[in-house]
Amino acid sequence: MRWSESCIPTLKENPREAEIPSHMLMLRAGLIKKLTSGVYTFLPTGFRVLKKIERIIREEMDAAGCQELLMPILHPEEIYAESGRLKSFGPELFKLKDSRGRIFALGPTHEEVITIIARDEMRSYRDLPQTYYQILTKFRDEIRPRYGVMRAREFIMKDAYSFHADDDCLDRMYRRIEKAYRKIIERCGLEYVIVEAESGYIGGNESHEFMVLAENGEDMLLSCPCGYAVNLDKAAARVSDGRRGEALDPYEEISTPGASTIEQVSEFLGMSEKGIVKTLLYKAGERNVAVLVPGDREVNDIKLVRVFDDPDIRFLEPLEIETVTGGPVGFSGPVGLPEDVEIVADTLIRDFEGMVAGANRADTHLRGIVAGRDFEIGRFEDLVFAREGDLCPNCGKGLASSRGIEVGHIFKLGTKYSSSMNATFLDDKGKSHPFIMGCYGFGVSRMVAAAIEQNFDKDGIVWPMSIAPFQVLLLPLNTGDETVMKAALRLEEELAGAGLEVLMDDRDLSPGVKFKDADLVGVPLRITIGRKIKDGVVELFHRKTGRVDDVAVDAAAGKILEIAGIKG
């Protein structure tokens, strides 16, 4: 492939709309072009990468025993009413009307369509198991599309669905897909972790997310060298230094004038923040609740919403706090609260022997209070954010924090869709059961961005060899020089002939411009053909390490084939 004949519209400046490196670099390296907000064209170079990822996915899905099919993008709206998802999708579902006024949705996923196929085509346990997959464009009307193809309104996904007669069979397929996903990401040359998602939350259903590690990833993770990893929103805080404070009988009142924040109380009393109990008052539904957490911890709102089953849960206003507790903001505590205020404590509070907390009176705290004696805790719940250094539930070592990009998500759906859509099969006794289902998503276009987020430097993209748009870039410096071009053409023939994908920058531009573009586009191996060609020597440059070797032009192709793992 010749650069002069290709559409690789590189940009010198960073586009203003791009907030993260992959978005910026995909625009700058001419991989994508925006049509409108959240809608992109994959230009030829970007499409080469996309196709490579697709091929790896197809090979691994086929090897896992999945069958490829192609379902429609246009979905009659009724099927979402049938499954009950019309409401849960809400405005994210793209809708359109045909000329007869019938409403259609542009497919965001295909659980409904595939469940209809199973309902009509699979009648008996003898037809099971079956696993299908497809690679196609999905639509979601993101309120705020951003990050380029990372959070777009139109994107390419691989989605797969499996149907089983029993849970064990589903589990076997689930493990096979998990293995296939590992291989896909490894073959793409990327570092990743697998995190448990919502484990055991919906009646024993299992779900895992595959996260490509990247500094600018959207998801915050905690991970351990033992292999355990968890999304920060779901991680429970576990600590080793449990027992804090000293129980006093009776507890002691202490004057803390003006000390209304945890920081001020800790300073005033000369004790660490984690020894003080923070009492937060909320309105959950119609009730007032007091939430107790260690002073050095923050409440995770996602957990709060889940624990109290109220998406509108809110803090009490200062006036409400005075009415409920009798004391001003900043001096709330669990002792002496009205009986209708439920006290819910974070699990970390379980270890507190004697607590320091507000007295529900201005400028006063209590020291040495004991749960069960001085007040009652209604229940313990996981409420706070875990953080770096908290203990791994697997091996007990400290967790490290990192960030990731979700590229895959697998679910054991159970009978969620088959029940609501009445998709059943007959067992060996002629009895009818809903199908047991799994679904398995993989973000194909998102994977291109994720690969870049993990592999770039200040000059541009650094593609892993397996998904690079080209493996070799030939860079003749002076295209007017006959010896230079002769060597370039010969190398092109040798390398392309051996099956490598070669891009030759045959543009009549200054070496500076060509080197900049080469770094930006990030082809892993580069051969520069310059002045040394007089002595039969070219330069071999490794984009990842920056290493430069002088190589005899006669040996260059062989050397490259060796590095690329292809026998000459």
Distance of CA 469 to the CA centre of its chain: 24
State the minimum distance, in angstroms, from the CB of residue 201 to Zn ion.
22
DSSP string, 141-185: --SS-BTGGGB-SEEEEEEEEEEESSHHHHHHHHHHHHHHHHHHH
Residue 165 near residue 425 (C-beta atoms within 8 A) = yes
* Interactions with Zn ion, residue window 515-554 (CB under 5 A): none
Distance CA 372, CA 480 (A): 89
Shortest approach of Zn ion to residue 229 CB, angstroms? 9
**Residue 390 touching Zn ion (CB under 5 A):** no
Minimum gap (Å) between residue 58 Cβ and Zn ion: 34
Rounded least distance, CB 221 to Zn ion, Å: 13
Q: Is 392 in the site for Zn ion (CB under 5 A)?
A: yes
The burial of 101, by beta-carbon neighbours within 10 Å (0-12 exposed, 13-18 middle, 19 or more buried), is given as exposed
Query: Which residue, 199 or 415, is less far from Zn ion as judged by CB?
Result: 199
Q: Which residues of 481-516 are buried (b: 16+ CB within 10 A; e: fewer)?
A: beebbebbeebbebbbebebbbbbbbbeeeeeebbb
CA dist., res. 268 & res. 246, Å (int): 17
Mark residues 206-225: x for contact with Zn ion by CB under 5 A, - for none. Answer: ------------------x-
Interface positions, 222-261, toward Zn ion (CB under 5 A) = 224, 226, 228
Q: What is the Cα–Cα distance from 341 to 283, expressed in whole angstroms?
A: 10
CB of 182 to Zn ion, least distance (A): 18
Is the Cβ of residue 229 or residue 359 nearer to Zn ion in the bound state? 229
> What is the signed CA dihedral for 480, 486, 492, 494, rounded to 10 degrees?
-170
Q: Between 24 and 399, whose beta carbon lies closer to Zn ion?
A: 399
Question: Which one of 88, 255, 261, 394 is in contact with Zn ion (CB under 5 A)?
Answer: 394
Q: CB of residue 377 vs Zn ion: minimum separation in angstroms?
A: 30
Q: Are 132 and 69 in contact (CB under 8 A)?
A: yes
**395 near Zn ion, judged by CB under 5 A:** yes
- The nearer residue to Zn ion, 225 or 511, going by C-beta atoms, is 225
Minimum CB–partner distance for residue 291 and Zn ion (Å): 29
- Contact between 158 and 135 under an 8 Å Cβ cutoff? The reply is yes
Residues in binding contact with Zn ion, number by CB under 5 A: 6
Which of positions 9-28 make contact with Zn ion (CB under 5 A)? none
**C-beta closer to Zn ion: residue 35 or 395:** 395
Complex with Zn ion: residue 211 or 371, whichever CB lies closer = 211
* C-beta closer to Zn ion: residue 228 or 352: 228
CB nearer to Zn ion: pick between 11 and 226: 226
CB of 522 to Zn ion, least distance (A): 35
* 3-class DSSP state of 467: helix
β-bridge mates for residue 456, sequence order: 461
Return residues touching Zn ion (CB under 5 A): 224, 226, 228, 392, 394-395
